[in-house]
Amino acid sequence: MKERLEQLKQEALEKVTQAENIQSLKDVRVEYLGKKGPITEVLKGMGKLSKEERPVIGQLANEVREEVANAIETKQSRLEDEALERQLEEESIDVTLPGRPVQVGGPHLLTSIIEEIEDLFIGMGFEIKEGPEVETDYYNFEALNLPKGHPARDMQDSFYITEELLLRTHTSPVQARTMGKKNGSEPVKMICPGKVYRRDTDDATHSHQFTQIEGLLVDKNVRMTDLKGVLNTFAKQMFGEDRDIRLRPSFFPFTEPSVEMDISCKVCGGEGCSVCKRTGWIEILGAGMVHPNVLEMAGYDPKEYTGFAFGMGPERIAMLKYGVDDIRNFYTNDIRFLEQYHKA
């Protein structure tokens, strides 16, 4: 019987080896390990054996069973792996084909610039204030030290609606309105972005509609060096740590002293080139210490309160930062232009 078992084992293992698919492997299992299989047969005939032989053969039969079962299992798992591999191979795709496009829009370049500046000043503790685009003559001019007949009114020819109403020519009226609400006793720390309008014929450098951001800080003991410090922080964050600023005298009716701020030219590093008109500097914004008449009209005592204000044009900053060469591009809304600056 021993020989018979050995022989069966050899036969079974041989068939396992030869099995090429899961079905033939199943057949081997049924043939050798099934209830009617030869090993079972052998075990059935054990009654004829002696007491001593019985356990020996029984153990041997079990060993053979186990060995065959293991072989089947190993082979089966190998066949399954091979089958899966074949299947996955069939599922293979061309990974170089383009992906399904996800449509994403984006902000207008001017909005990106304005929000960048907003966030920068929010970081320095400024609030954002907004105001009407149709303004009264009082807030647009008079409250800003520009009485009727003031020669500087020529500087900004305006779109009037009635004698007393006009499209604001700057966002400064928002400053006047904000200050006016403080009863002359609270500090103001704000920036005001928005659309403004001037009587200009649209061309590469002029637009009858454009945007502006102005800032205002009114408090006790505000110094001109504070203005310089805040503008320096702004310029370095907006244009890069390696840029220098300089202030030079200028004139605005609502500030005294008035200055213009230049930043060092990025193209030539201050050496002078065509971009900076050989000066090494590029004009960025106007600023100054709030004129005592403006403070007074807003209800502040200019002996007690002082302040600074500044204003800049996002179009100009965009033109400098991104090389836009025609201001009309901002308002034509050509999709190719808009999409180009989504990364801005």
Q: By CB under 8 A, what part of segment 23-82 binds another protein?
A: none
**Nearest residue to Zn ion, scored by beta-carbon proximity:** 265
Q: Is 270 in the site for another protein (CB under 8 A)?
A: no
Residue 35 interaction partner, one of Zn ion, another protein, none, beta carbon < 5-8 Å per kind:
none
Q: Is 343 in the site for another protein (CB under 8 A)?
A: no
Judged by phi (left if over 0) then psi (alpha if -120 to 50, else beta), residue 129 lies in beta
CB of 71 to another protein, least distance (A): 47
Question: What is the residue-wise DSSP string for 159-211?
Answer: -BSSSSEEE-SSSHHHHHHHHHTTTTTS-EEEEEEEEEE-----SSS--SEEE
List phi, psi (to 5°) of 218: -125, 130
Q: Is 97 in the site for another protein (CB under 8 A)?
A: yes
Q: Segment near another protein (CB under 8 A), from 22-30, 62-70, 217-225, 318-326?
A: 217-225
CB of 243 to Zn ion, least distance (A): 12
Q: Segment near Zn ion (CB under 5 A), from 111-119, 172-180, 260-268, 335-343?
A: 260-268
320, with CB counted inside 10 A (0-12, 13-18, 19+), is: middle
- Could you check whether the bond before residue 257 is cis, i.e. omega within 30 degrees of 0? yes
* Options 265, 291, 313, 316; binder of another protein; rule CB under 8 A: 291
Residue 265 interaction partner, one of another protein, Zn ion, none, beta carbon < 5-8 Å per kind:
Zn ion
Q: Is 197 in the site for another protein (CB under 8 A)?
A: yes
Question: What is the residue-wise DSSP string for 243-285?
Answer: --EEEEEEEETTEEEEEEEEEE-TTTTTS--TTTTTTTEEEEE
One character per residue 301-330, x = contact with another protein (rule: CB under 8 A):
-----x-----------------------x
Q: Smaller CB distance to Zn ion: residue 124 or 268?
A: 268
Nearest to 6 by CA among 82, 74, 64: 64
Residue 246 interaction partner, one of Zn ion, another protein, none, beta carbon < 5-8 Å per kind:
another protein
Residue 267 interaction partner, one of another protein, Zn ion, none, beta carbon < 5-8 Å per kind:
Zn ion
Q: The tokens 């009727």 sit on which residue?
A: 148
Token pair, residue 168, equals: 């604001």
Q: Smaller CB distance to another protein: residue 32 or 330?
A: 330
CB of 276 to Zn ion, least distance (A): 3
CA distance linking residue 246 with residue 260, whole number of Å: 8
Residue 56 interaction partner, one of another protein, Zn ion, none, beta carbon < 5-8 Å per kind:
none
Q: Segment near another protein (CB under 8 A), from 6-14, 52-60, 68-76, 113-121?
A: 113-121
CB 81 within 8 A of CB 73: no
CB 290 within 8 A of CB 235: no
Token pair, residue 334, equals: 């050509």
CA distance linking residue 239 with residue 228, whole number of Å: 16
Q: Is 247 in the site for another protein (CB under 8 A)?
A: yes
256 labeled part of a ligand binding site: yes
Q: Is 228 in the site for another protein (CB under 8 A)?
A: yes
CB 219 within 8 A of CB 304: no
* Options 92, 149, 241, 323; binder of another protein; rule CB under 8 A: 149
Q: Which residues contact 131 (CB under 8 A, 6 or more apart)?
A: 168, 171, 173, 174, 177, 192, 194
CA distance linking residue 62 with residue 342, whole number of Å: 75
Q: Count the residues of the shown chain that bind another protein, applying the rule CB under 8 A.
A: 89
* Options 16, 217, 265, 317; binder of Zn ion; rule CB under 5 A: 265
CA distance linking residue 313 with residue 141, whole number of Å: 19
Q: Is 284 in the site for Zn ion (CB under 5 A)?
A: no
Binding-site residues for Mg(2+), please?
256
Which parts of this chain interact with Zn ion (CB under 5 A)?
265, 267-268, 273, 275-276
